[in-house]
Every structure is written in structure tokens, then in C-alpha cells.
């Protein structure tokens, strides 16, 4: 760009525009071009990452179904003093009868029963039965008629539950996700011991995911070291074996482990054949935690090998040779010089494997049985089977919070800046 000088000494471009303004315009044009280039990525993250998380957080507290169906009952029920020990007034019963009749006509009253059944069993049958018979109630007294229809309407705890769950937002899903609940008096208490499952599932998920990560590191580190130190031609051939699982269907890999690990499977048959175990002492290695760990280590091992290999490939061999020349033993040179240079790869592979493992549900569902299922399996069950999307969203939110907490802890101890892929 040719430059000229004005009478006052200011630099300008050949077309007379001040050089400072021209440079600012060029810089602004470059910024806009860069923004346009990253806009598709931002849009992808927004639509497929941030919006689903926001939707999950919203569903975890959403409770609009009761207010949208019981449009007459909710306003009058909110004025009832549930601590008085007396049933609601005749006006509340009348509003409930009219709402049930309308809900029966629009086929929406069952939604209220399903929602209330998550909090107290028997509520689905109560609203279905009431929906079928409420049309018989033509006039007052509505209280006696509704209680005669089903005695649960004469239970003050039924009305307390309806009042508590009539708000547009609720915390009951989050309480259920940590084995807590509201009692009949509205106090937060622990679930009965036989219903305390989710805390144990979260602990099991974290333990198994950590074990899988450690096993992947123990198995993946020597593989990565071998790939990084062998000649390129040989390491490329071995890398194909590492990547081979990616070219095989996940379902095929999982069912292959079922064939290998079951009591009548290949491994047990081999052990019996060589006399290591008796036919009546076959090992139970499937449909339990062992099956989950073995199958998931096989599936996730490449996610540990690749980051480690990419980092090891950047470590100059001269580092170890220098340590050896200064009197260090092979083990000391490896442990004191080589391993510290691979910490970034260990961190990258560890976080990658752990986060994938903590959210896996297909493999545990097929090989995990009772003791090998993870919290993700129950999230999937609530979404597709029980249709309790609120509880599924709450469990997912708690799992997300745990992952973020562990991520922050890792950043404080190791430092996220020390993690790299090579």
C-alpha cells in the first residue's frame, strides 16, 4: 500500500485516506472475517451442546403439568392451610371434580396421576378411577361425593401432596436423585433404606470409571511407549491394531466379550480344559462389574493410547540418553526424565477416558447385570421406560455437576494448562 503525507505531516494511503483509519478498517475487516469463520462452530455448540444442557436443567425442575390440568383446583388449593389438620373446603372439592371431569374429556387427567405417582404410589389409579366415575357427580355436596368415590380423597396427605406439587417448579426430582424426599408434613427426609439406590449408583459409577481409567493407563502406557520408540514402519503397523476397534461395531465388540466371558464361554472352557478350574467352579465374569470393566477397558483403551502416543512422539530421545550419560540407571532415567514429560498426555487421556466411561450406558446394560450397571443406565431407563423425564434430567444434572467438580479439582491439583494432545 503506497503512502503519502499531508500538509500537516499525517500519513495517508494512495487514495487519500488517513493511514490510521485505513489500518483500523483492515483490522476490523479481519476480525469480521474471523468471526464468520467460527460462527458455524459457535452455532453447532449452541444447538447441540448448550441448548440440550439448558433443556435438561429446565426439565429437572419443571412441574407445569399439574397447574395446566387442574386449572380450577390449584388457585383455591393454594389458599388452604394444610397445617390445620382439616380437609380443604367444599370449594376445593368442587374445583377438583370439575377439573377431573374436564381432564377426562380432554384425556389429560392421567398426566396428573402419572406425575403424582412419582411422589406417592397409587396416585395413578386414583385419578384414573376418579376420571371414570366423576361424571356421576352432578351436584353438591362435592366433598362427600368425591370421598365416596375413593376414600383417598378423604386423606389429608393426598391434598398436601397436590398442594406441594402444584407449583410450576419443584425440587422433588433433585431430592429423589440423592435419595431424599418430602414426607407427608413437607419435611425433607431420607428415603427408606430399601429405596436408597442413586447415591450408591453415583459412587459405583465413579469407582468403576476411575478403575477403568487406571487400567487403561496401565495397559496403554507401555503400548504408547512401544509405538513411540519403534521405527516408523513398525509403529504404523501396530497403530492399525490400536485403531482396529474403531472400525468394528460397538455392539459386535460387546457381544464378543459376552461370548468370551460367560460361564459356558471360551475363557471358562479353556480354564476347565487345562485343569485350572473344575467344571462346577466356572468363573462368573459376565453380567457383573467384572464384565463392565473388561469390556469398557477394551473399548476405551485407544482413547488413552492416542494422547499418550502423540505426546511421547514429541519427547526427544536425547533427554534419556543425557540422563544415562550422567550416570543414571535406565529405570531412573525413565522415571525421573521420561515420565514427567508425559504427564500432559496422561492428563489428557485420563480425562478423556474417565468422562466417556462415566456416561457410558450401552456396554454396562449388556454385560453389567445388577452390580455392573452405572447411573447412565438408570437415566436411560427413566427417559425411555418410566418416562420420568424430570428425574432423568435431575440425575443428569447431578452427574454433570460431579464431572465439573472433578474437572475443577484436576485443574487445581495438576493444572488444565498442563494437559495437551501432543
CB 56 within 8 A of CB 62: no
pLDDT digits (tens, 9 = 90+) for 275-329: 888 888 888 888 899 999 999 999 999 999 999 999 999 888 888 889 888 888 8
* pLDDT value for 303: 92
195-201, long-range: CB within 8 Å, 24+ apart, which pairs? 197/378, 198/375, 198/378, 198/395, 201/373, 201/374, 201/375, 201/378
Residue 368 lies in a domain: yes
Q: What's the confidence (pLDDT) of residue 1?
A: 46
Residues 48 and 128 reside in one and the same domain: no
- pLDDT under 70: residue ranges of the chain: 1-16, 19, 414-422
Please tell me whether residues 292 and 338 are part of one structural domain.
yes
Residue 280 shares a structural domain with residue 317: yes
Same-domain pairing of 245 and 106: no
Q: What is the pTM of this model?
A: 0.84
48, 113: one domain: no
Same domain, 236 and 365: yes
Considering the domain architecture, whether residues 108 and 246 belong to the same structural domain is answered as no
Class of residue 100 by CB neighbours under 10 A (exposed 0-12, middle 13-18, buried 19+):
buried
- Pair (150, 277) in one structural domain: no
Q: Within this chain, do residues 156 and 76 fall inside the same structural domain, yes or no?
A: yes
In a domain, 348, yes or no: yes
Is there a single domain that holds both residue 114 and residue 215?
A: no
Residue 275 lies in a domain: yes
Residue 192 in any domain: the answer is no
Domain that holds residue 302: 198-418
Q: What is the pLDDT of residues 247-271, one digit of tens each?
A: 888 888 888 998 899 888 889 988 8
Long-range pairs for 405-411: beta carbons < 8 A, 24 or more residues apart: 406/354, 407/351, 410/347, 410/351
Burial 48-86 (b: 16+ CB within 10 A, else e): eeeeeeeebeebbbbbebbbebbebbbebbeebebeeee
Q: CA–CA separation, 230 vs 309, rounded Å?
A: 12
Q: Distance of CA 242 to CAs 67, 109, 239, 299, 304, Å?
A: 55, 55, 5, 11, 10
Q: What letter would DSSP give residue 195?
A: G
Looking at residue 412, what is its pLDDT? 80
Q: In this structure, is residue 174 part of a structural domain? A: no
Same-domain pairing of 83 and 227: no
> Domain containing 352 — which CATH number?
1.10.3720.10
Q: Domain for residue 189, yes or no?
A: no
Q: Are residues 46 and 24 in the same domain?
A: yes
Say how many domains are in the chain: 3
Is residue 176 in a domain? no
User: Does residue 238 lie within any of the structural domains?
Assistant: yes
Domain end point (choices 147, 168, 189): 168
Q: What is the DSSP letter of 416?
A: G
Assess contact for 103 and 203: CB atoms under 8 A: no
Amino acid at each position: 500500500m503506497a503512502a503519502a503525507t499531508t500538509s500537516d505531516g499525517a500519513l495517508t494511503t494512495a487514495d487519500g485516506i488517513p493511514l490510521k483509519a485505513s489500518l483500523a478498517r483492515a483490522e476490523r475487516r479481519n476480525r469480521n472475517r474471523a468471526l464468520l469463520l467460527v460462527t458455524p462452530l459457535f452455532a453447532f455448540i449452541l444447538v447441540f451442546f448448550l441448548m440440550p444442557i439448558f433443556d435438561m436443567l429446565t426439565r429437572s425442575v419443571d412441574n407445569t403439568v399439574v397447574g395446566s390440568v387442574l386449572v380450577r383446583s390449584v388457585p383455591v388449593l393454594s389458599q388452604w392451610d394444610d397445617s390445620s389438620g382439616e380437609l380443604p373446603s367444599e370449594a376445593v372439592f368442587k374445583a377438583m371434580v370439575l377439573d377431573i371431569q374436564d381432564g377426562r374429556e380432554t384425556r389429560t387427567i392421567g398426566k396428573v396421576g402419572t406425575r403424582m405417582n412419582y411422589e406417592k404410589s397409587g396416585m395413578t389409579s386414583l385419578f384414573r378411577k376418579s376420571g371414570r366415575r366423576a361424571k356421576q357427580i352432578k351436584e353438591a355436596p362435592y366433598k362427600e361425593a368425591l370421598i365416596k368415590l375413593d376414600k383417598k380423597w378423604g386423606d389429608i396427605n393426598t391434598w398436601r401432596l397436590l398442594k406441594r406439587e402444584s407449583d410450576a417448579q419443584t425440587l422433588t426430582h433433585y431430592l429423589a436423585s440423592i435419595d431424599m424426599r418430602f414426607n407427608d408434613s413437607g419435611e425433607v427426609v431420607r428415603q427408606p433404606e430399601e429405596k436408597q439406590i442413586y447415591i450408591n449408583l453415583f459412587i459405583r459409577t465413579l469407582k468403576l470409571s476411575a478403575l477403568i481409567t487406571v487400567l487403561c493407563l496401565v495397559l496403554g502406557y507401555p503400548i504408547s511407549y512401544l509405538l513411540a520408540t519403534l521405527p516408523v514402519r513398525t509403529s504404523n503397523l501396530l497403530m492399525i491394531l490400536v485403531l482396529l476397534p474403531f472400525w468394528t461395531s460397538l455392539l459386535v465388540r460387546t457381544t464378543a466379550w459376552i461370548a468370551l466371558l460367560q460361564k459356558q464361554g471360551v475363557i471358562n472352557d479353556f480354564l476347565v480344559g487345562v485343569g485350572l478350574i473344575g467344571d462346577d467352579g466356572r468363573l462368573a465374569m459376565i453380567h457383573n462389574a467384572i464384565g463392565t470393566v473388561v469390556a469398557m477397558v477394551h473399548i476405551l483403551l485407544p482413547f488413552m493410547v492416542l494422547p499418550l502416543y502423540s505426546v511421547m512422539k514429541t519427547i526427544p530421545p536425547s533427554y534419556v540418553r543425557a540422563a544415562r550419560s550422567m550416570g543414571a540407571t535406565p529405570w531412573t532415567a525413565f522415571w525421573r526424565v521420561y515420565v514427567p514429560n508425559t504427564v500432559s498426555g496422561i492428563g489428557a487421556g485420563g480425562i478423556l477416558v474417565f468422562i466417556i466411561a462415566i456416561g457410558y450406558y450401552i456396554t454396562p446394560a449388556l454385560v453389567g447385570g445388577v452390580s455392573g450397571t452405572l447411573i447412565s443406565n438408570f437415566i436411560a431407563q427413566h427417559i425411555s421406560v418410566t418416562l420420568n423425564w424430570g428425574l432423568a434430567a435431575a440425575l443428569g444434572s447431578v452427574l454433570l455437576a460431579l464431572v465439573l467438580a472433578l474437572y475443577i479439582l484436576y485443574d487445581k491439583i495438576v493444572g488444565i494448562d498442563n494437559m495437551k494432545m501432543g
